[in-house]
Copies of this chain bind each other. A is one copy, B any other.
């Protein structure tokens, strides 16, 4: 049910993130190792920050492994903050407006997981969205609803708190409808400067999530690895699954955690839903 990648650091060519690594996101689109589904072929999306007022979005319903335009874009475009996502639909339509990342102003959002029993709770969640945000909803996914709830609950002011309130609200509505485990999620969101990533599920068995180890430490460990020397020390990657097999390069993000990355500094905090 989807795989994603959130990069921040010095500007890097998108193809270095999406195609070059052994277990790159495009490879995962066809053969995910740790995902619930092997195939994540139900569309994809890339969001990146360049010089424009808002980040760019390239969204497609094709499988990522087939998309020639993605390969072209990735070969031409560099960015210091990149979100990328390959989708495995849990039933909702295959259409661009259901592809992640979602955007609101300068802010991006992407999600792996689901709101359980979504048809049952969809309407009630949608009604809780701020009326001024409601007309922005273009697709039919739980992920887009989640994003607009988070915006409603203050994502632009305090992301960890807004997400905590959103999850608490979804769990409350789910509980009201007798849903056992209302939410399953790894989420990433950014304003182009700070990236927040969340790993949480009501049942305490969340989708996989990893973050990259400090590059400086890794270089000491692998003095002969050229890739590590080409990456800048401020590189931070949060990914659904490791992009390669380098021992020590990836650490699992613990359950119920919020990770904050800004300017090459990273912090892990406990995450708890708020009601």
Question: Does A19 make an interface contact (CB < 8 A)?
Answer: no
Q: Which of A48-56, A191-199, A251-259 faces chain B?
A: A48-56
Given A48-B76, A72-B58, A122-B135, decide whether A66 and B94 contact each other with a Cβ distance below 8 A.
yes
Q: A123–B59 Cα gap in the complex (Å)?
A: 26
Q: Which of A126-134, A200-208, A231-239 faces chain B?
A: A126-134
B56 pairs with A60, CB closer than 8 A: no
Q: A66–B88 Cα gap in the complex (Å)?
A: 10
CB neighbours of A58 from chain B (8 A): 69, 72-73
Question: Does A240 make an interface contact (CB < 8 A)?
Answer: no
Q: A93–B97 Cα gap in the complex (Å)?
A: 8
19 further interface pairs, Cβ-Cβ under 8 Å (given A48-B76, A51-B76, A137-B140): A30-B41, A31-B38, A39-B41, A52-B76, A56-B73, A58-B72, A62-B62, A68-B93, A69-B69, A76-B77, A77-B77, A93-B95, A95-B96, A95-B97, A97-B140, A119-B135, A120-B135, A126-B126, A127-B127
A-B contact pairs, 28 of them (CB 8 A): A30-B41, A39-B41, A41-B41, A41-B66, A42-B63, A42-B66, A48-B76, A50-B76, A51-B78, A54-B75, A57-B68, A57-B69, A57-B72, A58-B69, A60-B69, A61-B62, A62-B62, A68-B93, A68-B96, A69-B69, A73-B73, A77-B77, A93-B96, A97-B140, A122-B134, A123-B135, A127-B127, A139-B140
Residues of A within 8 A of B (CB): 30-31, 38-39, 41-42, 48, 50-52, 54, 56-63, 66, 68-69, 72-73, 75-78, 89, 92-97, 118-120, 122-123, 126-127, 131, 134-135, 137-140
3 tightest Cβ-Cβ pairs between the two chains A and B: A119-B135, A56-B76, A95-B95
